[in-house]
Amino acid sequence: MKAKFICGVIMLLALCVVLMPYSAEAKVSRERKANQLSNPKASPEARKLFKELLSYHADGKILSGQMWAPWGIDEIEYVYKTTGKYPAVRGHDLIHERSNAREVELLIEWYGKGGIPTLMWHWGAPTKGEGYEQSKMQIDIKQCFVEGTPENKAMWADLKRVAVWLTKLRDAKVPILWRPMHECDGDWFWYGKGTGEDFVKLWRTMYDYFTHECGLDNLIWVVPHSDWIDPSYNPGREYYDLAGPDTYRKEWQGDLYKKIRNIYGEDNLIPLHECGTIPDPDECKANGTMWSWWMLWHTMHVTRHDKEDLRRIYNHEIVLTLDELKRAK
């Protein structure tokens, strides 16, 4: 009996020795996956930028961001003249073909200065043309996936057209925080008027085409939720790199951060990828809503902000600006 017991103990110890390396390896694998981009062929520039985002977050910092528009004031210069600082993240929109060349040119220039570029796409509903109003029109989304339909042909034409601009950024070795189909789970844009399943199919179609066929390895994919945050719009871990909300209601910001974290996990960097009011950095620090970055919308959303408060935010100890970025030094 005693011999059987000793034999059993020896076998158990041997099994533990055998399994320990695999358990450790599995743990490392999980940790590595959380810190990796979804595209295994991501460019060195994209990998470096993502690593920097992780580093800033680990240091308890939040990146400042400002959206730019090709009309009215120059929002980026307005911020500098008001605060003495440039934002870390500069936002642009591929909304009109007539202005896309300028949008891309400014992003290349911004990255050259050490800044972080982010790009969205107000995608006009296939068959409806381009522009903001067209992005709100309704179509039968399922027809986009039926080969030969007008919607299908228009969808592929749109993707190919936008891929041209993203290719220019790739060829210039510029990594992009890419947030297409923003406010994806709201019902005001065409891609949110269907079901979560419809959106996921659209997202994955775009991801696969841009990543595997076009070789756009400079993209860091940001799932751009609205402040409704429907979990059925999560495209799946293999199809995104970050996820965050968009809101124009300051009082909702803290709850939205928690909702995103509950859906995507605590290891997901959470940007407030678009907002009408900048989160107060003191409140962020106090309640743990440590955004990866925030990006204030353009025109009146920046000019109506109290100038003294804007200066306070841009000079806050946890808010990073262009001059404080690793590549800008």
Catalytic (active-site) positions: 183, 274
With both helix axes pointing from N to C terminus, report the angle between 150-171 and 97-112 in degrees, rounded to the nearest 10.
Answer: 30
- 311's tokens: 């200066």
HEC states along the chain? CHHHHHHHHHHHHHHHHHHHHHHHHHHHHHHHHHCCCCCCCCCHHHHHHHHHHHHHHHCCCEECEEECCCCCCCHHHHHHHHHCCCECEEEEECCCHHHHHHHHHHHHHHHHCCCEEEEEECCCCCCCCCCHHHHCCCCCHHHHHCCCCHHHHHHHHHHHHHHHHHHHHHHCCCCEEEEECCCCCCCCCHHHCCCHHHHHHHHHHHHHHHHHHCCCCCEEEEEECCCCCCHHHCCCHHHCCEEECEECCHHHHHHHHHHHHHHHCCCCCCCEEEECCCCCHHHHHHHCCCCCEEEECCCHHHHCCCHHHHHHHHCCCCEEEHHHCCCCC
Q: Give ∠ CA 105-169-216 in degrees, rounded to 5.
A: 160
| Closest residue by Cα to residue 62 from 294, 229, 256 | 294
119 vs 93: CA distance, rounded Å? 6
